[in-house]
């Protein structure tokens, strides 16, 4: 029997077979038959189904049913070649290599035009089938329409409270999941696009210049929260096994984590309760509990970090407390957004913005300097630039190379700035950079005392975090990297740079 002719009872039986029995009462109440099921769009599903995980699964099942009912819409007449290819059913649209896109039925609007929010990239015939499954945003991500009550609050142009923030994040996560065809693993660029669009539409959400990092972290945490209970999705299970969160270990790991938190809290109480007042101890206990949560109240974190700034500076600068003890008391200093905010509170400077401006301004001079022309970084950069013509990718590669070459320009030890594709060997703040010129798999991490402090999105953010860590934790510059760091510091604080340092760059 055709699915379109199913009765309400048959649809409910189908839901039970697909382990979606929780949806049966609502589907009966709304009298959803086969035809109505196939007609459901993402907005209708969001109204019918409250749980995000169920929404993603249902949309994926409906899409597969539509494909079985309607069959493929587009077929490829010719394999990809150096000349433009054609696709049947595209009404004469010419697609070139690197731009050819294959669209599934649910990505076309009723009028036959293509939904520009979702593209599938295929660069050659060898990877065409795999690439068809990997969705990528267009240059301009379009925000979904928020629920009426949320829109009313945003219309007041005031910072929403914690509950409204959670609703916004949940809505964005559901929207991203839909356009990723149910995948729960967005790329860094996709996170950036969504948060940028949110802050451009509602600038007042960018609090103290740190809104981008706060909203991005909250969105990432939301995806982690949704992935945690899932054990029947191949991609999620594969990644859990890859990164240590194996099936069957959830409860054990949770118990271990709770024991660890209790141990840390006991240690903190034993060491510091005699020295700190009741209010500070309350803040420290709250930090430890909140840090272990999947969804964190970032507004409250910021408020409490500001209130405890004075005692934290006293511990670091006067009492010279060990670095690990500082992190044990104030674990949110491991988060780049809080590290940058701490730096801003101390210096009134936006370290990330300043670092990005410095790298952009000096990139051309550093990359064309005679001092670095035979550097392995330059050789790798030139090799990779030949493979890509997109301006944004080429700019990303050049900025990355500029960051890594800074010590070479000053004739200093580059291993004190970044360990590229190798193990970290120094105790001072240093970056670990893996696959620096591959935007899809590049990994940047900040290490202090040979322990990983934070994972960063790119070399610009990594360098900013490195500079901030020296200042926030009161760590003196190493002698073999002093001129490099002093040069960057002088530009950040807009003071006159020594002539011999400026001459090095030129």
Mean per-residue pLDDT over the chain, rounded: 75
pLDDT of residue 242: 52
CA distances, 478 to each of 72, 211, 413, 418, 430 (Å): 62, 33, 10, 13, 11
Query: Is the Cβ–Cβ distance between 435 and 396 less than 8 Å?
Result: no
Q: Which range, 237-251, 453-467, 482-496, is most confident?
A: 453-467
The average pLDDT across 404-418 equals: 91
Residues linked to residue 418 through DSSP beta bridges, in sequence order: 431
Query: What tokens does 337 get?
Result: 């957004």
The SS3 assignment for 173 reads: helix
CA distances, 447 to each of 334, 429, 466 (Å): 10, 6, 9
pLDDT of residue 89: 35
Residue 305 — pLDDT band, cuts 50, 70, 90? very high
pLDDT, tens only, 335-364: 998 999 999 999 988 999 999 999 998 888
pLDDT of residue 229: 66
Consecutive H or E run containing 216? helix 211-227
pLDDT of residue 16: 86
Nearest to 168 by CA among 151, 184, 180: 151
Query: Is the Cβ–Cβ distance between 465 and 339 less than 8 Å?
Result: yes
Q: What percent of the chain has pLDDT over 70?
A: 72
Indicate yes or no: pTM above 0.75: no
Query: Is the Cβ–Cβ distance between 90 and 99 less than 8 Å?
Result: no
The terminus-to-terminus CA distance of the chain in angstroms comes to: 76
Q: Which residue has the tokens 């004739």?
A: 411
pLDDT of residue 261: 47
Query: What tokens does 197 get?
Result: 């669009």
pLDDT of residue 104: 41
Q: Per-residue pLDDT for 254 more than 60?
A: no
**Between 506 and 81, residue with greater pLDDT:** 506
pLDDT of residue 437: 84
C-alpha 177/C-alpha 17 separation (Å) is 23
Query: What tokens does 427 get?
Result: 């105790």
Nearest to 473 by CA among 322, 287, 267, 280: 322
Q: Per-residue pLDDT for 90 more than 50?
A: no
Query: Is the Cβ–Cβ distance between 454 and 339 less than 8 Å?
Result: yes
Q: Per-residue pLDDT for 394 more than 90?
A: no
| Structural domains present in the chain | 3-70 (1.10.150.50), 75-136 (no CATH), 148-242 (no CATH), 250-334 (no CATH), 351-505 (no CATH)
The SS3 assignment for 170 reads: helix
């Amino acid at each position: 029997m055709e699915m379109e002719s199913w009765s309400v009872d048959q649809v409910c039986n189908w839901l039970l077979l697909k382990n979606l029995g929780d949806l049966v009462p609502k589907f009966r109440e709304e009298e959803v038959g086969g035809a109505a099921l196939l007609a459901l769009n993402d907005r209708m599903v969001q109204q019918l189904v409250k749980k995000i995980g169920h929404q993603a699964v249902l949309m994926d099942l409906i899409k597969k049913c539509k494909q079985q009912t309607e069959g493929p819409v587009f077929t490829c007449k010719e394999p990809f070649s150096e000349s433009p290819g054609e696709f049947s059913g595209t009404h004469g649209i010419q697609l070139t290599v690197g731009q050819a896109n294959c669209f599934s039925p649910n990505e076309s609007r009723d009028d036959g035009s293509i939904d520009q929010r979702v593209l599938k990239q295929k660069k050659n015939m060898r990877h065409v089938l795999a690439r068809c499954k990997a969705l990528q945003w267009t240059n301009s991500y379009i925000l979904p329409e928020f629920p009426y009550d949320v829109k009313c609050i945003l219309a007041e142009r005031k910072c929403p409270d914690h509950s409204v923030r959670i609703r916004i994040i949940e809505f964005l996560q559901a929207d991203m999941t839909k356009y990723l065809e149910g995948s729960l693993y967005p790329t860094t660029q996709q996170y950036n696009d969504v948060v940028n669009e949110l802050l451009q539409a509602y600038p007042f959400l960018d609090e103290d210049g740190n809104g981008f990092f706060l909203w991005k972290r909250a969105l990432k945490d939301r995806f982690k929260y949704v992935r945690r209970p899932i054990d029947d999705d191949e991609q999620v299970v594969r990644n859990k096994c890859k990164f240590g969160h194996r099936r069957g270990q959830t409860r054990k790991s949770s118990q271990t984590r709770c024991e660890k938190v209790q141990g840390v809290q006991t240690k903190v109480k034993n060491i510091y309760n005699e020295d700190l007042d009741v209010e500070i101890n309350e803040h420290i206990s709250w930090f430890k509990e909140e840090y272990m949560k999947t969804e964190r109240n970032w507004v409250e974190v910021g408020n409490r970090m500001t209130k405890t700034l004075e005692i934290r500076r006293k511990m670091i600068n006067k009492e010279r407390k060990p670095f690990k003890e500082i992190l044990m008391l104030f674990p949110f200093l491991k988060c780049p957004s809080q590290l940058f905010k701490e730096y801003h509170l101390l210096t009134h400077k936006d370290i990330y913005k300043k670092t990005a401006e410095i790298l952009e301004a000096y990139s051309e001079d550093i990359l064309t300097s005679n001092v670095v022309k035979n550097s392995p970084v330059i050789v790798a950069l030139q090799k990779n630039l030949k493979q890509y013509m997109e301006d944004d990718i080429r700019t990303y590669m050049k900025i990355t190379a500029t960051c890594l070459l800074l010590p070479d320009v000053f004739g200093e030890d580059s291993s004190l700035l970044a360990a590229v594709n190798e193990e970290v060997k120094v105790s001072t703040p240093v970056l670990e950079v893996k696959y620096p010129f591959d935007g899809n798999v590049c990994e940047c991490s900040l290490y202090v005392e040979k322990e990983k402090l934070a994972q960063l999105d790119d070399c610009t953010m990594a360098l900013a975090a490195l500079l901030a860590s020296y200042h926030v934790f009161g760590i003196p510059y190493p002698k073999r990297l002093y001129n490099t760091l002093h040069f960057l510091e002088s530009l950040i604080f807009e003071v006159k740079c020594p002539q011999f340092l400026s001459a090095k760059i030129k």
